[in-house]
Amino acid sequence: MDYFDDEPHTPRGPKIRSDDTWAEVRRAWEAGETGASLARRYDVGLANLWRRRASEGWSRRKPADPRPEPVEGWDRHAEAALARFEHQRLEARALAEQLCKAMTGGSLEGTPIWHLAFVLHWRADHLGEAVIAADRAWIAGRGLDLALWREDGKLLPLWWIDELVLSANREAWREDHGLPPGVAPHVPVPVRRDGPKGDGAG
């Protein structure tokens, strides 16, 4: 028989719990503590606890709603959330398609500027010297003021090209993220163009 099935016994018979003890048990249970935990803590029978709960009508308080209803109401809030999700999904798919095209040897045209460093490194690692030469010509032909290759012909480290691209386009980034002119002027931090050139940098 389970230890918690009935009231604990003493040599003189079942232990009798005071009304005050049961009042404490009830308050703790209604506050969310489990019956098994209370049976152990107060040394009462679990079956008796369930009987008292049923006969006395114990009930747990409904927890407070942690999220208040939005001003626009839940229906409009949910519809707007779904619209945002669908838009983000379309954007993610378009980005994936563009990156896939570039990473399999297609034109760099249309590659989002923020992913240029990643794509250039991928192409250099996987697509051979002819593609590297084409990429250098493409960058030069676009008039991009970015020195992305070392003297030995190797690309600068991925993280450094990311920093260069972000620094060169910092005003566009700030506008995209809603930063008015003059606020947080250090974000993003401008970087020096004469960055890491050594072999150990990437």
198 pLDDT band, cuts 50/70/90, is low
Is 64 a member of any domain?
no
Residue 65: is its pLDDT beyond 90?
A: no
**Burial classification of residue 161, based on how many CB atoms lie within 10 Å of its CB (0-12 exposed, 13-18 middle, 19 or more buried):** buried
Report which of residues 61 and 197 the model is more confident about.
Answer: 61
Q: What is the pLDDT of residue 33?
A: 86
The rounded mean pLDDT for the chain is: 85
C-alpha to C-alpha distance for 188 and 52, rounded to whole angstroms: 64
Structural domain including 41 reads: 9-56
Is 183 a member of any domain?
yes
Is 95 a member of any domain?
yes
Q: Which two tokens stand for residue 29?
A: 């249970």
Is 61 a member of any domain?
no
Is 68 a member of any domain?
no
Is 48 a member of any domain?
yes
Q: Is the domain of 132 the same as that of 51?
A: no
Q: Is the domain of 138 the same as that of 169?
A: yes
Q: How many other C-beta atoms can be found within 10 angstroms of the C-beta atom of residue 148?
A: 18
Q: Is the domain of 125 the same as that of 45?
A: no
C-alpha to C-alpha distance for 120 and 125, rounded to whole angstroms: 9
Is 110 a member of any domain?
yes
Q: What is the pLDDT of residue 158?
A: 96
% of the chain beyond a pLDDT of 70: 85
Q: Is the domain of 143 the same as that of 79?
A: yes
CA distance between the termini of the chain: 68
Q: Average pLDDT, stretch 123-140? A: 94
What pLDDT digit, counting tens, does each position of 66-108 carry? Answer: 788 889 999 999 999 999 999 999 999 999 999 999 999 999 9
Q: What is the pLDDT of residue 195?
A: 62
* Number of compact structural domains in the chain: 2
Q: Is the domain of 14 the same as that of 78?
A: no
3-state secondary structure of 69: coil
Q: Is the domain of 49 the same as that of 100?
A: no
Q: Is the domain of 40 the same as that of 106?
A: no
Is 62 a member of any domain?
no
Q: Is the domain of 78 the same as that of 41?
A: no
Q: Is the domain of 43 the same as that of 93?
A: no
